[in-house]
């Protein structure tokens, strides 16, 4: 059922020799979500994914799949893996097999389906990803984007409960990346497949994810809905990622110009999210007697189906009038941060 937890990771750690790579990881993946784990190279995100599909054995901790700890050695690992689809950065297709054969082999060898059913299932998913015209082609005859589409079809053909994607678009050009992300989004929306992605690309999160966990130095430093985490980033690593796509800083050239300003002012950063986007807050504070407003900058960012509008406002007036204006902004549910006091 949508919203139920499929995976719940509890106090997961992984050590190679004396090197701790994962440190006390806690997070969960719910049915119907597209959850992203983002982090810089070396943050531990790929090791975490390898633990989740049991390619690596956790040193300590639990990986609960529908309430069963699959990290327990007594659990049937192949049976669990049959419920988890995997999409790789390097595609991992068999070069000596056709597109169709690549999508059938897992069903026949792992799920023990007969070839007739495997063929029918493979064709269904190849059609879904737009690769049905290429069923007799070999991987060397395909572009990177086409190979990844085949990889996605192969994973879906096992009809998994969750799809794990390890940097699935990092080897692709921007246009192909957008196409693959659009495909994953449709798979989630129309087929109800739960997706967990590993990435270092903010574009991936902006386009399709609704939940995010940020990793740094082997730990999850921040997690929540995409909009909550990236509208109010607390951890330095999260702030660094946000700055790559959201320019909400005041340019030095403008700050230099403000040095000559003699009137009393404040500069506030406003973030309009959700229902507050529709509110005429700036128009209303312009009507406060004794307050003048200057817009120094503005940007609009989309995160999946949510929008965040950011304004940098310079407001002139007496202390009491400026406090009145800021109180009115706060009352409207707009996120506000005092940037400069002059």
pLDDT digits (tens, 9 = 90+) for 234-290: 999 998 888 888 877 788 888 888 888 889 999 999 999 988 889 999 999 999 999
Per-residue pLDDT averaged across 14-36, rounded? 94
Determine the pLDDT at residue 164. Answer: 93
Q: Which residue segments constitute the domains of the chain, with CATH numbers given? A: 5-243 (3.40.50.300), 252-341 (3.30.70.260)
Q: Is residue 96 helix, strand or coil?
A: coil
Query: Residues with Cβ < 8 Å from 200, sequence gap 6 or more?
Result: 38, 39, 40, 41, 167, 170
Rounded CA Rg of the chain? 24
Pair type for strands 194-199 and 265-273: unpaired
Determine the pLDDT at residue 96. Answer: 95
pTM metric for this prediction: 0.84
Determine the pLDDT at residue 259. Answer: 85
How far, in Å, CA of 54 to CA of 12, rounded? 13
How far is CA 291 from each of CA 1, 254, 285, 341, rounded to the nearest angstrom?
Answer: 52, 21, 7, 15
Specify the length of the chain in residues: 342
Per-residue pLDDT averaged across 13-34, rounded? 94
Phi, psi of 28 (to 5 degrees): -140, 160
Closest CA relative to residue 53, chosen from 103, 127, 110: 110
Determine the pLDDT at residue 304. Answer: 75
- DSSP-assigned letters across all residues of 39-79: E-TTSSHHHHHHHHTTSS--SEEEEEETTEETTSTTS-HHH
Pair type for strands 5-16 and 60-65: antiparallel
pLDDT at 110 over 90: no
């Amino acid at each position: 059922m949508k919203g139920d937890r499929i995976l719940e990771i509890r106090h997961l750690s992984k050590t190679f020799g004396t090197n701790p790579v994962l440190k006390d990881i806690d997070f969960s993946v719910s049915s119907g979500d597209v959850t992203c784990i983002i982090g810089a190279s070396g943050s531990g995100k790929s090791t975490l994914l390898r633990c989740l599909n049991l390619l690596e054995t956790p040193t300590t901790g639990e990986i609960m799949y529908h309430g069963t700890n699959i990290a327990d050695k007594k659990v049937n690992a192949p049976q669990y893996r049959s419920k988890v689809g995997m999409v790789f950065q390097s595609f991992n297709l068999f070069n000596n097999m056709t597109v169709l054969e690549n999508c059938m082999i897992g069903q026949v060898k792992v799920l023990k389906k007969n070839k007739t059913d495997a063929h029918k299932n493979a064709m269904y998913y190849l059609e879904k990803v737009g690769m049905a015209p290429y069923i007799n082609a070999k991987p060397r005859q395909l572009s990177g984007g086409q190979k990844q589409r085949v990889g996605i079809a192969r994973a879906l053909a096992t009809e998994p409960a969750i799809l794990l994607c390890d940097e699935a678009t990092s080897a692709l050009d921007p246009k192909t990346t957008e196409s693959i992300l659009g495909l994953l989004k449709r798979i989630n929306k129309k087929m109800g497949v739960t997706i967990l992605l590993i990435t270092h690309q903010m574009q991936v999160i902006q386009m399709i994810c609704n939940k995010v966990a940020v990793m740094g130095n082997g730990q999850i430093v921040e997690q929540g809905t995409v909009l909550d985490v990236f509208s109010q980033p607390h951890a330095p690593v999260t702030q660094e990622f946000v700055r790559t796509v959201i320019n909400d800083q005041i340019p030095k050239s403008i700050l230099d110009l403000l040095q000559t300003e003699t009137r009393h002012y404040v500069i506030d950063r406003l973030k309009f999210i959700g229902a507050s986007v529709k509110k005429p807050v700036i128009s209303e504070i312009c009507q406060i007697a004794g307050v003048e407003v200057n817009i120094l900058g503005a940007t609009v960012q989309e995160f999946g189906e949510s929008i965040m509008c950011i304004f940098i406002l310079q407001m002139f007036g007496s202390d009491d009038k400026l406090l009145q204006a800021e109180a009115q902004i706060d009352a409207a549910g707009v996120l506000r941060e005092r940037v400069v006091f002059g």
